[in-house]
Amino acid sequence: MQMTPEQRNLMRQRENMRRQTITREADAAVRDSGLQLNAQERARFESRYIQERRRVEQSLRQQLESERQKEIPALIQQLRKEFQIDEPGKSPVTKPASSPKLQK
């Protein structure tokens, strides 16, 4: 996939922002831990924090994808019913979809 220079620049900017956010959060984790660390220990702590954060985020992405895949067949079935044409010449019936999770 070829990206335009603008797209590459935007991607670089987003990645830099993500790294800055993670660095700030790693700094906050060191502060919140209450530990008094020298520079080498601090660097190791931040490295481990970032490593474990990646692991947690990957696990959450997998859980989300798993849940999404479980719900897709029911969604397709619901849409099939909504858009099914019962009679020739009749246009599909479209009504606003409501998610059961959004109703409280």
Reduced 3-state DSSP string for 2-70: CCCHHHHHHHHHHHHHHHHHHHHHHHHHHHHHCCCCCHHHHHHHHHHHHHHHHHHHHHHHHHHHHHHHH
Query: Which residue stretches of the chain have pLDDT < 70?
Result: 85-104
pLDDT at residue 70, rounded to an integer = 96
Q: At what angle do helices 39-83 and 5-33 cross, to 10 degrees?
A: 120
pLDDT value, residue 84 = 85
What local confidence, expressed as pLDDT, does residue 21 receive? 94
Write down the domain spans for the chain: 5-81
pLDDT reported for residue 86: 59
Task: Report pLDDT for 1.
Answer: 73
Q: What is the reported pLDDT for 92?
A: 55
